[in-house]
Amino acid sequence: MTMAETPSPRTRKLPLRDIVLMVMLGVVFGFLYWALVQAWNLLAVAMGPAGDLAQHVLLGGWLLVAPIAIAIIRRPFVGIIAEVIASLIEVIFLGSPVGPLLIFAAALQGLGSELPFAVTRYRRFGWPVYALSGLLGAGLVFVYSAFRFAWFGQDVLWLRLVLQLASGLLLGGLLAKVIVAALTRTGVLDQFSIVRDARPAAVRRDR
């Protein structure tokens, strides 16, 4: 069974199924994140000033959307689009206190997450790519947030960076690969590119 030629991804628009999937991922992760943060907020307040550091530990969870979307849909820019959609949902539907600036942060997260996949031409989906995706996504948005919240003058800058990169690597990178593999096994992704591109040409249909 030979792998069929991958069609040139740049020529056709994303099918609606993929767009709705990205929206759905944004909704699910936005909802889960909100549910998790409710519980965490109490902890953060209890931690006092150190509670501000909690955001770095949680950030990785927000990076999940991009690599998962890229792995399933297998098209360029999907990571950025998925993050932006997720942030739109957070701002408009969930009323996030961060406001529309969240969209810029999300775009940066998406860009960072997307780069390792783009550089390997969306063909490699092993542990290193995911790990790098998480690191870059967390790192890029760290720079933006550092400007925004003026972290550069603080003593704890390096601590923040380390926490954020670790969260990005583990939660935003490796966990994404685990989730994608588990989802693929359930068969729920059978209609998406992740499974369809790997089928023999006799069964595949061009749209």
- Could you identify the residue written with the tokens 């994140």? 33
Q: Is 27 in the site for other proteins (CB under 8 A)?
A: yes
Asked if residue 12 binds other proteins (CB under 8 A), the reply is: no
Q: Per rule CB under 8 A, is residue 94 in the interface with other proteins? A: yes
Q: Residues 6 or more apart from 184 whose CB is under 8 A from it?
A: 194, 195
Q: Residue 189 interacts with other proteins (CB under 8 A)? A: yes
By CB under 8 A, name the one of 43, 100, 121, 128 that touches other proteins. Answer: 100
Task: Write the DSSP assignment of 111-149 as a string of letters.
Answer: HHHHHHHHHTTT---SHHHHHHHHHHHHHHHHHHHHHHT
Q: At closest approach, how far in Å is the CB of 32 from other proteins?
A: 5
The one-letter amino acid code at 79 reads G
Comparing CA positions, the residue from 134, 206, 137 lying closest to residue 174 is: 134
Selected binder of other proteins within 6, 12, 20, 124 (CB under 8 A): 20
Binding residue for other proteins (CB under 8 A) from 10, 99, 123, 126? 99
Taking residues 134 to 163 in sequence order and writing x for each that binds other proteins by CB under 8 A, - otherwise, the string is -------------xxxx--xxxx-------
**Segment near other proteins (CB under 8 A); pick from 105-113, 119-127, 166-174, 181-189:** 181-189
Member of 97, 123, 126, 158 binding other proteins (CB under 8 A): 97
- Cα–Cα distances in Å, from 127 out to 68, 108, 133? 13, 22, 10
Q: Which of residues 34-73 bind other proteins (CB under 8 A)?
A: 35-36, 44-45, 48-49, 51-52
Q: Scanning the structure block, which residue is given the tokens 């998925």? A: 82
Burial class for 70, CB neighbours closer than 10 Å (0-12, 13-18, 19+) = buried
Instruction: Choose between 103 and 129: whose C-beta lies nearer to other proteins.
Output: 103
How far from 67 is each of 101, 114, 189, CA to CA, in Å?
22, 7, 15
Residues that bind other proteins in the complex, under the rule CB under 8 A: 13, 15-17, 19-24, 26-28, 30-32, 35-36, 44-45, 48-49, 51-52, 85, 88-89, 91-101, 103, 147-150, 153-156, 179, 182-183, 185-191, 196, 199, 202-205, 207
